[in-house]
Amino acid sequence: MSVQEYLDKHMLSRKIEDAVNAAVRAKTIDPVLFISNHMRKAVPSVITKLKARQILDSRGIPTVEVDLYTNKGMFRASSPSGASLGMYEAMATELRDADKGTYLGNGVSRAVKNINEKISEALIGMDPTLQSQIDQAMIDLDKTEKKGELGANAILAVSMAACKDGAAEKEVPLYKHIADLSGKTDLLLPVPAFTVISGGKHAGNSFAIQGIMILPVGAKRFEEALQMGSETYHHLKADTHPDCFVWFMLIGTKYDLDFKTPNKSGQNFKSGENMIEKYSKLCTEYPIVSIEDPFDKEDWEHTKYFSGLGICQVVGDDLLMSNPKRIERAIQENGCNALLVKINQIGTVTEAIEVVKMAKDAHWGVVISQRSGETEDTFIADLSVGLGIGQIKAGAPCRGERLAKYNQLIRIEEELGDQAVYVGKDWRQC
């Protein structure tokens, strides 16, 4: 092939001329850089390769990380994981190796292999800006209701990486790309729910309540809210900050308040009615504005009744498990009034956007949450802003995997400048 034939085949002469003319019209200071960027934009971005690996989460347990390559760059994401598994969530089929000789059976080499082979082959050549098509391609490839063939942990990591790639291709921040995908125009900074006391399964103490959190709703900016949370956390023995509300997270079975006590007598079991009375009293005596999972995940009757009292926000976590069918039932039955979203429970970015829309259409509050097995990935911070979610639960203001999310929200607030809106006292209505 001659030089002229090569130029004609790829229409290089016309493309270069167009780029030069554009640089002249723009009167750019650096025409070479301008022409380079112009030529780059003229080439459609396509996925060229996926490379997954096994990394460790914040608990030292394996999880999935993926590098998604296009003809323009590489984009990385990792899947979080939880300590508790629910039968209705996609993560119930999180793919683990079950080889007790390696990582006590918690290895994810099978999920990694699925990404490097099956998922990679299916997605090569796809446009990374078409998020719903990418997610649907993986769902179709998996062919199971709960993403058990490929692994929800594998599918989610790829979905998140593709979303980051799509934002880069559009040359917008990730939160803006997510807002575009969901059809939203308002970009809102959420109120953080800082854990100040841990109990239940997540702590080595006898405290039955799984967590006590504070909501700095009196702050004017997210940066100020983070300062409030940090100062309260480090002065825990002093009084709670006056501009902070309290959020209880209670998870138990049969309401056994002594479930962590050795040699328990069984004398402290409570009925649903007993717990409603207890919660009502607590909300009267203390500035409690939100309770997560106040009853067993199958106790719809008492959850519905307590939510109907309108005493506080009633958040469905184990009750709903980010499952669309459970959410729809709760909406129809007025089962609760807020949704807790854990993206690995639903399995893809597209499905996460859809369940948030379901909750908001029902005029519910929405909380985006970390998992107990987190990574340094800051995706949920951008997701909370892009979807206008009023609340984010990323743990106490300590440890790198938690602070990564909070620090990303500081950067987003700074980037938005005068357009930054911290929801503050509108944390439930936004």
Q: What is the DSSP string of 281-311?
A: HHHHHS-EEEEE--S-TT-HHHHHHHHHTTS
Is the same domain home to 163 and 186? no
Helix 349-361, helix 131-142: angle, nearest 10: 110
DSSP classification of residue 102: S
The rounded distance, in Å, linking the Cα atoms of 290 and 82 is 22
Is the same domain home to 166 and 92? yes
Give the rounded distance of the alpha carbon of 253 from its chain centre: 26
Is the same domain home to 192 and 166? no
Q: What is the domain count for the chain?
A: 3
The answer to whether residues 210 and 410 touch, using CB atoms and an 8 Å cutoff, is no
Is the same domain home to 107 and 60? yes
372 φ/ψ angles, rounded to the nearest 5 degrees: -70, -25
- CATH code of the domain in which 104 resides: 3.30.390.10
Active-site annotation holder among 17, 117, 231, 414: 231
Residue with tokens 């990730």: 174
What's the CA dihedral at 350, 353, 359, 362 to 10 degrees? -90
The answer to whether residues 100 and 193 touch, using CB atoms and an 8 Å cutoff, is no
Number of helices (H) and strands (E), helices first, in the chain? Answer: 16, 14
Tokens of 5: 């034939």
292 annotated to a ligand binding site:
yes
The answer to whether residues 344 and 157 touch, using CB atoms and an 8 Å cutoff, is no
DSSP classification of residue 117: I
- CATH code of the domain in which 247 resides: 3.20.20.120
Catalytic (active site) residue 376: no
Q: Is residue 176 part of a domain?
A: no
Is the same domain home to 26 and 101? no
- What is residue 135's three-state secondary structure? helix
Domain that holds residue 37: 3-42
Is the same domain home to 235 and 384? yes
Per-residue pLDDT at 254 = 45
Reported as half-sphere exposure (CB side, CA atoms, 13 A), residue 370 has a value of: 28
Active-site annotation holder among 147, 176, 184, 342: 342
Is the same domain home to 125 and 264? no
Q: What distance, in Å, lies between the first and last C-alpha atoms of the chain?
A: 62
The answer to whether residues 321 and 344 touch, using CB atoms and an 8 Å cutoff, is no
Q: Is residue 255 part of a domain?
A: yes
Per-residue pLDDT at 243 = 64
Per-residue pLDDT at 310 = 94
Per-residue pLDDT at 23 = 76
Residue with tokens 């980037």: 415
CA separation (Å) from 209 to 107, 127, 201?
A: 31, 46, 9
Is the same domain home to 134 and 263? no
Is the same domain home to 265 and 278? yes
Tokens of 60: 């030292």
Q: Is residue 427 part of a domain?
A: no
Q: Is residue 430 part of a domain?
A: no
Catalytic (active site) residue 27: no
Of 350, 393, 346, the residue nearest 145 (C-alpha): 346
Choose one of 107, 139, 171: the last residue of a domain. 171
288 φ/ψ angles, rounded to the nearest 5 degrees: -85, 125
Choose one of 171, 205, 235: the last residue of a domain. 171
Q: Is residue 428 part of a domain?
A: no
The beta strands (E) that lie in 57-178 are given as 62-70, 73-78
Q: Is residue 177 part of a domain?
A: no
pTM of the model: 0.88
Tens of pLDDT along the chain (430 residues) come to: 787 878 677 677 777 777 777 778 888 888 888 777 767 777 788 999 999 999 999 999 999 999 999 988 999 999 999 865 555 554 458 899 999 999 999 999 999 999 999 999 999 999 999 999 999 999 999 999 899 999 999 999 999 999 999 999 999 999 999 999 999 999 999 999 998 887 766 566 666 778 889 999 999 999 999 999 999 988 875 555 556 666 666 544 445 555 444 455 556 677 889 899 999 999 999 999 999 999 988 999 999 999 999 999 999 999 999 999 999 999 999 999 999 999 999 999 999 999 999 999 999 999 999 998 999 999 999 999 999 999 999 999 999 999 999 999 999 999 999 999 999 999 987 7
What's the CA dihedral at 305, 310, 312, 314 to 10 degrees? 40
Choose one of 171, 205, 222: the last residue of a domain. 171
The DSSP H or E segment spanning 345 is helix 343-346
Is the same domain home to 200 and 245? yes
Residue with tokens 């956007």: 353
Other residues' Cβ atoms within 10 Å of the Cβ of residue 421: 18
The answer to whether residues 181 and 86 touch, using CB atoms and an 8 Å cutoff, is no
SS percent in the chain: helix, strand, coil, step 5:
45, 15, 40
Is the same domain home to 52 and 141? yes
Q: Is residue 292 part of a domain?
A: yes
**β-bridge partners, 50:** 68
Is the same domain home to 242 and 158? no
Per-residue pLDDT at 260 = 40
The rounded distance, in Å, linking the Cα atoms of 70 and 211 is 42
The type of residue at 68 is L
Reported as half-sphere exposure (CB side, CA atoms, 13 A), residue 57 has a value of: 23
**β-bridge partners, 366:** 339
285 annotated to a ligand binding site:
no
Tokens of 312: 């506080």
Of 384, 376, 386, 313, the residue nearest 343 (C-alpha): 384
